[in-house]
Amino acid sequence: MTDGTDSAPEHNPAQHALKRVLVQRLTRYYDFVKARVADSVTVSSAEIADFLSADATQVRKDLSVIGVRGCPRVGYITRDVLEKTGHVLGIDVPHRAIVVGAGNLGRAIVLYPGLLEIGLEVVGVFDNDPVKTGARIGSLRVRVPEEIEPVVRENGVCLGILSLPAASAQEVADRLVSLNVRALWNFAPTTLSAPASVVVRYENIANGLAELFHYMSRLENDTD
């Protein structure tokens, strides 16, 4: 076993943005190792690679990039992997968010317990539908959009989660950007215009299904 023996130079993720594909792999490593912490003191690159159907050499390179060092024939200390991947991913510090759009999707996001597990606290939920405003979702009361500004400023909100119709998404995004919200998680089926200083992630359910359908059809053709 050769964990941790790569001689890649030190890399400070705070100074250099990591590539998206690397970040995606690190999230998978984090999830796997988190499940291992209670059961095992160490974990090897081969174990991570086998579980994720990945390449052990790639796992070692990725962990080396973020400063995780292992020992030959021993592997990595699981808590070390967890702490350093969590730090790079920003999971080790609390973040606050608001949800704009209190429909079924917005409600599901607010109630999802996994957000708190990775340090994200939803501190406000908003909707312009008078039928929804005033109702409670978990511990939060649905507020009118006019209350977005004080909630963002008072709570230091850094992330806006958009689960509203496409026609309203850009206006809300502009408003959040003007309030110095640094990231947008967009579930609306539209592309947003935002300054380079704002991170935008898209979650398009239709596109995801189209990708699944594509691979399903390829598998079906391969078996014909």
Reported as a single tens digit per residue, the pLDDT across 134-149 is 999 999 999 999 999 9
pLDDT class for 208, splitting at 50, 70, 90? Answer: confident
Q: Is the pLDDT of residue 218 over 60?
A: yes
What DSSP character marks residue 100? E
Position 212 in a domain: no
User: How many separate domains does the chain show?
Assistant: 2
Position 224 in a domain: no
Q: What percent of the chain has pLDDT over 70?
A: 91
Cα 203 to Cα 10, 19, 27, 41, 54, distances in angstroms: 33, 19, 17, 36, 24
What DSSP character marks residue 75? B
pTM of the model: 0.77
Per-chain mean pLDDT for the chain? 87
Residue 84 sits in the same domain as residue 103: no
Residue 103 sits in the same domain as residue 197: yes
Residue 107 sits in the same domain as residue 180: yes
Range of the domain at 193: 95-207
Task: Look up the CATH number of the domain holding residue 68.
Answer: 1.10.10.10
